[in-house]
Structure 1
């Protein structure tokens, strides 16, 4: 596989698979990995070169030639990998040795703790998950790959991720906390636009500009699916609100989703 204008995606899952197809449609040469042999075979039949790679087993001693690429997208959620930071750091180090010169890591906004508006400069986890994500960011930055962008994603919705089912019929605290979300359709616009540029910043947030309360958003999402709404206790007003505007300004692209209630209604109407 030539390294010119090529992208390898580690993790052809909820985001990685549609991203691969989007990039192919845009003229990129794309390959990727999954942990599932049957899925890899299906993807190959569908025209997406896919290999089986389980990050919970010993990694190869060198970056595989079949995964040679200019750009690596690490699209691996922390719940899927033991020793998450160390493992991703090792993957990135192997990729650097294999000639990869750019790495986009899909991190998460769990790296922000506390309350109030959070920009890229405000990382300070207050959870184990957030600590793990920040450690993984540091590990991939230390890999030797010349350009690394940590794309901190807010809560993921769209595609197979139906928010009406997330909390239906359950009881939670913090009903007034703002939601921080990003839709799959926005990610599939933003990431190809990022890959088309060379002037990468170190970190960018991805979070739609509308932040209704958890109570309002998840209640409406459940109602539209005719599911029992969640029950929220009070609290959470003035909670954490992720600012995703820097990405939009840098790319010159507005978010498609600027009203989550309109998005929920349109998604329901398409079904």
Structure 2
């Protein structure tokens, strides 16, 4: 039985673990809460308490696999440096690091993985490099756009905002189903040492997208501010489709029925 370790079991990590388990993998899954142990066991996962703020020797048991998926929100460079040191002394040979398109500056242009001159100063980029440049293991980085689907209904999100700024700027979003699908294909095809930008094919404006989301919920339309023409990056997903031969489950953001998953 193939074994992998999954660091992080939240909105994306939990269904990702379940997907791999259903595919026949043995999955070590981390959580920071004792309260979630029983829930993780109920889906067939092998749960561990792991907190990268204070790593213990228990993490070496969690690392008893060849593949590690890192999917946690922490942005502490020092904590990740300590984590990498622990990985170096473990059985891990391959790492998939879940990152974000926030590493790119928000200027009005299309961006591919080769556009390294458009990076912004962010701890996340430095954390990526800790994994990418390590010679003890190989790393593939996935840079996801904004995460949507299931409990993340964009209509709920927009209700929390008093004013939506830059309403004519394009959105760069990806559904949870495609996050899981892409990660699964990277692991199964053994594609390592790569970087992938991952967003849906379409990039409607904020106004178009969020007005539709609010209408699906039957909510009140938000207030829209001014648009600054300097902003509005579009993240291209050609590489993930070509190299992995990946077909998006939700390529068109304007056709997703979010109400099906509330």
Give the TM-score of the pair, scaled to structure 1. Answer: 0.88
The one-character-per-residue Cα deviations of 1:166-189 (angstroms, maximum 9, x if unpaired) are: 122621220111000000011121
How far apart are residue 156 of structure 1 and its match? 0.2
Maintained 8 Å contact 2:68/2:95: yes
How far apart are residue 202 of structure 1 and its match? 2.4
Tell me how far apart the structure 2 counterparts of residues 46 and 22 of structure 1 sit (CA, whole Å). 10
Counterpart in 1 of 2:67? 71
Tell me how far apart the structure 2 counterparts of residues 147 and 201 of structure 1 sit (CA, whole Å). 6
Alignment of 1:1-271 (within 5 A): 5-56=2-53, 58-60=54-56, 63-78=59-74, 84-113=76-105, 114-123=107-116, 124-126=118-120, 131-168=122-159, 170-237=162-229, 239-263=232-256, 266-269=257-260
Structure 2 unaligned runs (5+)?
none
- Larger displacement relative to structure 2 (23-32 or 236-245): 236-245
Give the TM-score of the pair, scaled to structure 2. Answer: 0.91
Tell me how far apart the structure 1 counterparts of residues 99 and 237 of structure 2 sit (CA, whole Å). 14
3-state DSSP class of the match of 1:257? Answer: coil
The one-character-per-residue Cα deviations of 1:124-167 (angstroms, maximum 9, x if unpaired) are: 344xxx61110110122244442101110100001211111112
Maintained 8 Å contact 2:141/2:196: yes
Root-mean-square deviation (CA, aligned residues, Å) is 1.9
How far apart are residue 269 of structure 1 and its match? 4.7
Maintained 8 Å contact 2:168/2:206: yes
Which runs of at least 4 in structure 1 moved beyond 4 Å after TM superposition? none
3-state DSSP class of the match of 2:52? Answer: coil
3-state DSSP class of the match of 1:19? Answer: helix
Tell me how far apart the structure 1 counterparts of residues 112 and 175 of structure 2 sit (CA, whole Å). 19
